[in-house]
Structure 1
Amino acid sequence: MIGLAVAGKAEESKRIVERQVRAQKYRLTRPFKFIEVETGVGYVSIAAREDEIIKRGDVLAACIYHPRAGVKALEHILESEDLVTTFMSLDLFFSGAIIEHERIVLFRDHVGHMPLAYAWDGGSFMAALSRSALGSAARSLEPGHMLVLDHSGSRLVRWYHPTRFLMNNPEEELAERLIHVAEKYLSDTVFLGFSGGLDSSILAHIAALAGRNVRGITVAMKGSLDYTWAQETAGILGIELE
């Protein structure tokens, strides 16, 4: 979803979304489309990439997600009878909206990897990937939350509640989990800001263990201590440095 607006008139909601699209041209790397629907909450206009929006009957779902999961993720959300259970089952980063006749639900993954912001403009409601497209009054939807709009007004609902679990061997189990995440979400080639310090070195090492081609990017004067540290650490880890 690139942008969404809810207004008392169809022309107004469309005008708002068109403005959002112009403000986010850098996101338009794939074909997108506009959809307009009338709901009990108001006239809704939405702009989304063609592969990130689906409509069945009176229900519409628009969602960005990573890694690319195809239409199955959208169908899973669209057909859900229990959004909390559905969101908990998705092994993805995501954000988006569900438009039904009697309510509109914005949602965001528990990590907050995918952006989503919203704002009120008089009697109109707006949402977009970028806060800057909505003006200074925009707020980011908190990770792991839903924003529900219906006849009673709007309310925030926290859908994600982390669970605690015990590890028999914390060091090994944590390492396995980190490598699993790297294998699932990192691309084949990883460009990493690399200083040779603890944080960037750990990230580079995990990516390398996951079989990725790690390219370290260092910004420093040649011959400086920072550059020397980065070179030495890259050599130890066996990664390329640029």
Structure 2
Amino acid sequence: MFIAAASMGTTSLLHISKSVMEELAGRWPRTDIVIDGKRASIEELSQPFQCYAVLVLHAGADVVAMHGDHVELNLSPSAILDDSSLKNSPFFLKAKISAGVISAETDNYSTIPISIVFDDPIAVASWHRLAESPNQMFRPIGPSTELTIDRGGLTEVREIRSKDNIYNHSPELLLRLIESSIEKNVSNRCAVLFSGGIDSTLLLKLIMDSGRAVLAVSVGLRGSHDLVLSERVARVIGADRVSVEVSQDRLLKEAARIRDTLGISSLMDTSLAVLFFTGALEAANNGIRQLIAGQGADELFGGYRKYLRIYQESGTSDVEKAMRHDLANLWRSGIVRDYSATALAGCLLTLPYLDPEIVGFAASLPLSLKIRPPQRKIILREACRVAGIPEEVAACEKKAAQYGSGIEKLLKKLYKI
């Protein structure tokens, strides 16, 4: 997680809460703060700076490079986690900050998000609320973007890099692509946010098969659908799993903290942010800094129930349009929310299904390999079978995480919505 600001004149402070920064710094092993070319402390963030100020929280090395008149940030999994085995990961965010100028480059799906806050100082941050004061304008930056912002305004160049000329549509190829994504993007020690559904189960099984040390973390209310299902599936595939039962008091506390810190308000966003924060906190408490999740699989392979409804009501072209729209907009809210909630707990969120090779493969598929009413995620279920996942798991239908965990239902009751 990071915040960076470039001033066009002396400014008094970065618009961040000291208490939030202290909490974040306590959850991450490394806190790098650079102000006007010099290392600084959290207390100094409230002091005036002339040229630029940067705050980065991470668990690695070579994330911040100081060059006198500017600072360069390398926010890639290999740098954030200090794991050279991840040097070929396609997930990254690069930034350069100097007096009055910020430039940055995002990856194919903005998996390491960035938002611009328009003010003096101009600022960029993983989550806009960390650098935003009331009534300021902000904007998340999209995938495959090179940008520069200075006193002349914002310049953006977007170049979508896609590989969709794939003619082998076999589940075996999909399985190999997921294995390749794990090889490039997943550290030798990680946790999987595990609900027992096929998205997280396939990732967990393939990570286990690769020889990596992986902990399955399941979050929900006592007796919830996801806790019951994940316990059964973990036993079937032989996974090491921990269950985090969220009490009413804990849910209220975490929801209030996350809503205040991240500035989210909807019930769905709050529920999912609590889910990711709680899972990441359990991983961090077990000494793990990378949380793996199955986000993107629904948009790529036709997992949402609404796709069946659109298919049946409007036909194939409308459902394909809806899936493309949802995938194209995943970076606007879902990834930013989940990444930020995970970082708030001291972990890096990694989404293997958004590897460009898998996205390109999914784009090349005919709809009949994704949805065939009443079935969804057809080819992903076939890949599960090829991977040796039992039929009872591969064929299982599951509720969305905010419902299956029981979190949204309880929040709705507590908030009297």
TM-score relative to the length of structure 1: 0.70
> Measured at CA, do residues 102 and 33 of structure 1 come closer, stay the same or move farther in structure 2, by a change above 3 Å?
closer
Q: Distance in 1 between matches of 2:140 and 2:170?
A: 34
Q: CA RMSD, aligned part only?
A: 3.5
Q: Distance in 1 between matches of 2:171 and 2:202?
A: 14
Residue number in structure 2 paired with 1:149: 149
1:129 aligns with 2:129: no
Residue number in structure 2 paired with 1:45: 52
Q: Report the count of equivalent residues.
A: 215
User: 1:1-242 counterparts in 2 under 5 A?
Assistant: 2-9=2-9, 11-12=10-11, 15-17=12-14, 19-20=15-16, 22=18, 23-25=20-22, 26-27=24-25, 29-36=29-36, 44-49=51-56, 51-56=62-67, 60-68=71-79, 91-99=89-97, 104-121=102-119, 123-135=120-132, 137-150=137-150, 152-168=152-168, 170-218=170-218, 219=220, 221=222, 227-242=227-242
Q: Distance in 1 between matches of 2:156 and 2:121?
A: 18
Q: Distance in 1 between matches of 2:158 and 2:75?
A: 20
Gaps in structure 2 of 5+ consecutive residues:
38-49, 243-417
Q: Distance in 2 between matches of 1:130 and 1:204?
A: 28
Secondary structure at the counterpart of residue 72 of structure 2:
strand
TM-score relative to the length of structure 2: 0.44
> Measured at CA, do residues 21 and 92 of structure 1 come closer, stay the same or move farther in structure 2, by a change above 3 Å?
farther
Secondary structure at the counterpart of residue 75 of structure 2:
strand
**Residue pair 1:20, 1:128 contacting (<8 A) in 2 also:** no
Q: Distance in 2 between matches of 1:107 and 1:138?
A: 17
Q: Distance in 2 between matches of 1:57 and 1:70?
A: 25
> Measured at CA, do residues 212 and 220 of structure 1 come closer, stay the same or move farther in structure 2, by a change above 3 Å?
farther
Q: Distance in 2 between matches of 1:31 and 1:196?
A: 35
Deviation at 1:139, TM superposition (A): 2.3
Which structure has more strand as a fraction of its residues?
A: 1
> Measured at CA, do residues 217 and 70 of structure 1 come closer, stay the same or move farther in structure 2, by a change above 3 Å?
closer
Deviation at 1:32, TM superposition (A): 1.7
> Measured at CA, do residues 234 and 169 of structure 1 come closer, stay the same or move farther in structure 2, by a change above 3 Å?
same
Moved over 6 A (4+): none
Deviation at 1:102, TM superposition (A): 9.0
Q: Distance in 2 between matches of 1:175 and 1:145?
A: 29
**Residue pair 1:67, 1:92 contacting (<8 A) in 2 also:** no
Bigger RCO (CA 8 Å, 6+ sep): 2
> Measured at CA, do residues 54 and 21 of structure 1 come closer, stay the same or move farther in structure 2, by a change above 3 Å?
farther
| Higher deviation after alignment, 143-152 or 54-63 | 54-63
Counterpart amino acid of residue 116 in structure 2: Y
Gaps in structure 1 of 5+ consecutive residues:
38-42, 74-88
**Residue pair 1:116, 1:141 contacting (<8 A) in 2 also:** yes
Deviation at 1:98, TM superposition (A): 1.9
Counterpart amino acid of residue 133 in structure 1: L
